[in-house]
Amino acid sequence: MTSLSPAERRRILNELSDREAAALLYDWSFWARPTQLAREGGWRVWLILAGRGFGKTRTGAEWVRSLAEGGRARRIALVAETAADARDVMIEGESGILACCPPWARPRYQPSRRRVTWPNGAVATSFSADDPDQLRGPQFDAAWADEIAKWRYEAAWDNLLLGLRLGTDPRCVATTTPKPRAWLARLMADPGTVLTRGATRDNAANLAPAFLDQILARYAGTRLGRQEVEGEFLAEIPGALWTRTLIEAARSAPPAAGDLVRVVVAVDPAVTAGAESDETGIVVAGTGTDGRFWVIEDLSGRLSPDLWARRAAEAFRRHRADAVVCEVNQGGDLVVATLRTVDPVLPVRAVRATRGKRLRAEPVAALYEQGKVRHAGAFPLLEDQMAGFSGLPGEASPDRLDALVWALTDLAFDRPPARSREFLV
C-alpha cells in the first residue's frame, strides 16, 4: 500500500465496505514490509537487528498477536530491560500489543499480574531482564524479547531460552538496536538464529520527514549513526583500549590455587545505593608463579554497601587473598569503615585516583598486549566494558573495569608486600 500513489490508495480504500476497511486496518500481512514478516523454516530465534524507528516494536507485537489470536501459542513471555519498558513499550505503547489488536479480539490487560489474556485463553506475561531469576520456573511456547542488547545480564537470556520448552515448536523473536555485546555476537552466529537487518530509513513512510532529515544529517557517516540509524553491529569500537580479539587471546583454564603467589580483591564502590545506582565493581585477581597475572572472578553488581562489603570479604577469605584494594575517591573513610564493619581485621589497601580513567587503564591494557594477563574463564559483562571503553567524555562509568584496573595495577606496578591479616590503612 505504501508503494502506491495517494490517488491509487484513496481509490482502493473508498471501494471497501466498513467491515472490510476495519479488517484491512488490522491486517498486518497487508501493511507490513517483507522484513517485518516471519520467515518460513525451522528457526529457533528470529533476531531483528535494526536502527531506531525501523518498526521493531510493531513487528514483535504483531508476531505475538498472530500467535495468540491464531491459537498457535498459549503461554508467551514478554521480556524487556525493565518492568516499566515491558509495560510502557511492549504492552501499552503506541506500537505495543494493545494498540495492534482489533477491538473485536482485544485482550484483557491486568497490570498487577503482568498479564495479557486473549479471549481464546492465550496468555502473555511480562518480565524484567533486570531480574533474571524471574524467568526461572515459568515455561513458554513463545517469547518476545525486546532491546536485548541493553540487557545487563546474559543470564536473563539464558533463563528465557531454558523456559522456552512448551509445544512442538517453541520460538522467540528478539528485537533490538545493536550494541557491541559478546553474547549478542554469539546469538547472531548460532545456526538456530534467523537474522533480519534494517535501517531507520526503511520505515520512512511512517516517520516524520523532519525527524528523518535531522538524524540523517546529524549522524550520517558517524559510528553512532551506523549503529543507531543503520542498525550495524559494530564489534570493535575505534579507540578502545581492548579489542575482542585481545580479550579472547587472554582466555585460559583457571590456574591451580598453588600456582598463585599473591591475590587481591579490588573494589570500586558505587556512590549511591539502590536499583538505579551504578554497579560496585568487585574483581579478584592474582599473580602466578610464572609471573603472569590472572583475572579470577568478577563479583560486581548493584549492591547495597553492606552487601558489597560482605561479598568482598567473603571473596577475600575464599581465595585466601592478601589484601582488599579499595578506591576511596568518593566515599573516603566511609568505604574502609564499611569493609571493617563486616570484618574488623580485613587488610584493606586504600587507593585514590589522581589521573583520568584512560590514563590509569593504559598500562593495564599494555599488559594484555604483552600477553601477561590471563582470564580464568569468561566474564561477559566485564569484557563488554573492556571492549567498549575508549575513555571519551560522556562515557558511562565502567565500574567492573575500574575494579580490574585497580587489581592489576596493585599486582603489577604497586606490588606492596603481602601482610596477610594486618591493617594496611
DSSP character at residue 277: S
Q: Is residue 174 part of a domain?
A: yes
Residue 10 lies in a domain: no
188 burial level (CB within 10 Å; 0-12, 13-18, 19+): middle
Distance between CA 215 and CA 209 in Å, rounded? Answer: 10
For the segment 365-386, the average pLDDT, to the nearest whole number, is: 91
Question: Of all residues in the chain, what percent carry a pLDDT higher than 70?
Answer: 92
Cα–Cα distance, 168 to 188 (Å, whole number)? 23
Same domain, 172 and 264: no
**Domain check: are 223 and 253 in the same one?**
no
Per the model's pLDDT, the better-predicted residue between 134 and 424 turns out to be 134
Q: Does some domain include residue 137?
A: yes
Q: Do residues 385 and 353 share a domain?
A: yes
Q: Which of 314, 282, 265, 320 is nearest to 399 (CA)?
A: 282
Residue range 188-205: mean pLDDT, rounded: 92
C-alpha 283: how far from chain center: 20
In degrees and rounded to multiples of 5, residue 151 shows phi and psi of -65, 135
The reply to whether 181 and 267 lie within a common domain is: no
Same-domain status, 50 and 179: yes
Q: What is the phi/psi pair of residue 132, to 5°?
A: -55, -30
Number of domains present in the structure of the chain:
2
pLDDT at 419: 43
Single out the residue in 172, 194, 228 at which a domain terminates.
228
Is residue 349 one of the residues assigned to a domain? yes
287 and 208 inside one domain: no
- Average pLDDT of the chain, as a whole number: 88
How many Å from the N-terminal Cα to the C-terminal Cα in the chain? Answer: 72
Of 228, 260, 277, the last residue of a domain is 228
Question: Which residues are within 8 A (CB) of 420 and not within 5 positions of it... i.e. 6 or more apart?
Answer: 322, 347
- pLDDT tens digits, one per residue of 51-68: 999 999 999 999 999 999
Domain boundary among 199, 228, 257: 228
In a domain, 179, yes or no: yes
Q: Which three cell numbers stand for residue 107?
A: 485482550
Confidence class of residue 260 from pLDDT cuts 50, 70 and 90? Answer: very high
C-alpha cell at 104: 473485536
Q: Which pairing describes strands 281-288 and 293-298: parallel, antiparallel, or unpaired?
A: antiparallel
Cβ neighbours of residue 68 under 8 Å, at least 6 residues apart? 76, 107, 118, 120, 122, 124
| pLDDT of 410 over the 80 cut | yes
Cell output for 393: 567524555
Q: Specify the CATH number for the domain of residue 282.
A: 3.30.420.280
CATH number (domain holding residue 77): 3.40.50.300
Same-domain status, 36 and 155: yes
Q: Are residues 261 and 378 located together in one domain of the fold?
A: yes
Containing structural domain, residue 131 = 32-228
In a domain, 330, yes or no: yes
CA dist., res. 406 & res. 364, Å (int)? 9
Report yes or no on 53 lying in a domain. yes
What is the three-class DSSP state of 178?
coil
pLDDT digits (tens, 9 = 90+) for 262-298: 999 999 998 665 544 678 999 999 999 999 999 999 9
**Do 277 and 327 belong to one domain?**
yes
Q: Which of helix, strand or coil describes residue 327?
A: strand
The residue length of the chain stands at 425
Whether residues 173 and 297 fall in one domain: no
For 21-98, where are the E strands, in sequence order?
Answer: 45-50, 75-80
Q: Is residue 233 part of a domain?
A: no
Cβ proximity of 368 and 246 under 8 Å: yes
Beta-strand runs (E) in 313-372: 323-327, 348-351
Helix axes of 399-409 and 357-369: crossing angle, nearest 10 degrees: 60
Distance CA 191, CA 44 (A): 9
Backbone angles phi, psi at 362, to 5 degrees: -60, -45
**pLDDT value at 425 more than 60:** no
**In the predicted model, is pLDDT for residue 21 greater than 60?**
yes
Q: Are residues 260 and 386 in the same domain?
A: yes
144 and 288 assigned to the same domain: no
Strands 260-268 and 323-327: parallel
Residue 346 has pLDDT above 70, yes or no: yes
Q: Give the residue ranges of DSSP H helices in 190-286.
A: 209-219, 223-228, 244-249
